[in-house]
Amino acid sequence: MSSPTPAVIKSIALEYGYEERRDEVSNTLFFKDASYDHDNEHPTLINVFYTTRGVMTKISHPSSGYNQLWRSDAYDSGASLEEIFANPRIHTGKGYRTTDDSVRGCAKCGLQTKRADFSKNQWRKGPGHAKCTGCVQCQEVGEAGGRSNEISRESMIGSITCDAEGCGNSSPVVQCTRCLMVYYCSETCQRRHQGSHSQECIDINWMREQTHEEPNGDSMRGMAMAGQLCGKRTFDALLAQAEYIYRADGQWERAIELYKDLLMRDQESGTPPQWRQVWMGFSRCFYEMGVYDKAIDSGTAALEMNRHFPQAHKYVALAQKASGNHTLATNTMKNAVLYETPWDDKNIEKNRDLLREITM
């Protein structure tokens, strides 16, 4: 069966809401999801190498950040290529590899750990000598001998990857000084990504000025109860009831019922932040009920929408810790410190406190 031509590939991309983001280079077509939220998320990218039938996708991931995956011979017909455009997460199937798929046993804990969980310096030490970032962190805390419980930035930075398209290197060393929300492994990657990043870069000082105190819980509860008594079934009213009545009272099952009701609504009925609240609410409820796998999945869904969403990392990390995966929990909270609302110092300090608690 013959492979689709570049013209056919472009028509498939257009049909599934993708637009060309740059001119063709070396028999490669470059596409970007045209429907993404410019203010709150990275676009899904798909590159098609039409002579080798290879495909590279780049999608936001809660633990490894904005990362790429690729595979040769990824499709053999227009129909199989359509499946990738219809659901880019099909790239997680067998045969794909990522820049962080290499694994190595940690010299301290002995666990087989992905490359992304080692700092660059530790990985270079080689098998039998390299320690994962979780063990390095524990060692740093122990060596402090009670003098300091501060967590170094270097020990956290190894858990994330370069945000530049097509890179994926771990332990980035350059941070955007304007928004503090993206990281690069080099100034070259920063310059290469500037055209795309400039569309979503927000001045950190402006964001700090916009930050307000959390709404008073009593007043929000009163409004939620008033809506409940009036029988209001709008998206806003049900979300308020779930969060300020049932969740506040620890009635996790009742809150989940309302969140499920909201999931049945049309996507347009709620705003992107509200949908993230729904998924984060699921995560909190499932964690409190001890259903840790669902808590992780729900929190991950919120983070895939926006990695800067406050507290979504928290319940994913707590569920991971409760499930016995301290390494993942540690990395999740490192991402929280590095990514979550960098303009909100109080939130960052809370995340640091939880990171210290998890690493103990």
Q: Which of 191, 209, 227 is the last residue of a domain?
A: 209
Of the listed ranges 98-102, 255-259, 265-269, the least confidently predicted one is 98-102
> To 5 degrees, how large is the angle CA 315–CA 33–CA 28?
120
Residues 240 and 271 in one domain: yes
Q: Give the domain extent around 77.
A: 6-98
Q: How far is CA 299 from the centre of its chain?
A: 10
Whole-number pLDDT of residue 128? 64
Residues 152 and 162 in one domain: yes
Q: How confident is the model at residue 98 (pLDDT cuts 50, 70, 90)?
A: very low
CA distance 37 to 200: 9
What predicted TM-score, i.e. pTM, was given to this entire model?
Answer: 0.57
Strands (E), 72-220: 97-98, 103-105, 112-114, 174-175, 183-184
Q: Which of 209, 231, 247 is the last residue of a domain?
A: 209
CA distance 19 to 11: 10
CA distance 224 to 107: 53
- Mean local confidence (pLDDT), 9-23: 92
Is 133 inside any structural domain?
yes
**Token pair recorded at residue 179:** 């928004």
Residues 283 and 348 in one domain: yes
Mean per-residue pLDDT of the chain: 81
Residue type, 143: E
Most confident of 96-100, 144-148, 204-208: 204-208
Residues 235 and 314 in one domain: yes
Residues 170 and 258 in one domain: no
Q: How confident is the model at residue 347 (pLDDT cuts 50, 70, 90)?
A: confident
Residues 237 and 261 in one domain: yes
Is 1 inside any structural domain?
no
CA distance 100 to 122: 14
Of the listed ranges 73-82, 98-107, 220-229, the least confidently predicted one is 98-107
Does 209 or 139 have the greater pLDDT score? 209
Residues 127 and 81 in one domain: no
Whole-number pLDDT of residue 211? 67
- Mean local confidence (pLDDT), 134-159: 60
Does 298 or 214 have the greater pLDDT score? 298
CB-based contact 65:163 (threshold 8 Å): yes
Strands (E), 116-246: 174-175, 183-184
Whole-number pLDDT of residue 95? 44
- Buried b or exposed e, range 61-88, using 16+ CB within 10 angstroms: bbbbbbbbbbbeebbeebebbbebbeeb
| Contact residues for 23 (Cβ-Cβ < 8 A; gap 6+) | none
DSSP 8-state assignment for residue 44: P
Residues 353 and 221 in one domain: yes
**Token pair recorded at residue 264:** 């049945």
Checking if the pLDDT of 252 tops 90, the result is yes
Is 252 inside any structural domain?
yes
What confidence tens digit (pLDDT) does each residue in 277-322 have?
Answer: 999 999 999 999 999 999 999 999 999 888 888 888 999 999 999 9
- Please report, for the domain that includes residue 259, its CATH number: 1.25.40.10
CA distance 311 to 345: 14
Residues 10 and 62 in one domain: yes
Whole-number pLDDT of residue 100? 47
Q: Which of 38, 64, 98 is the last residue of a domain?
A: 98
Is 282 inside any structural domain?
yes
Residues 330 and 238 in one domain: yes
At 355, which helix (H) or strand (E)? Answer: helix 345-359
Whole-number pLDDT of residue 208? 79
Residues 137 and 190 in one domain: yes
DSSP 8-state assignment for residue 129: T
Of the listed ranges 108-117, 176-185, 284-293, 309-318, the least confidently predicted one is 108-117
Number of domains in the chain: 3
Residues 225 and 160 in one domain: no
With the C-alpha atoms ordered 99, 100, 104, 107, is the resulting torsion angle positive or negative? Answer: positive
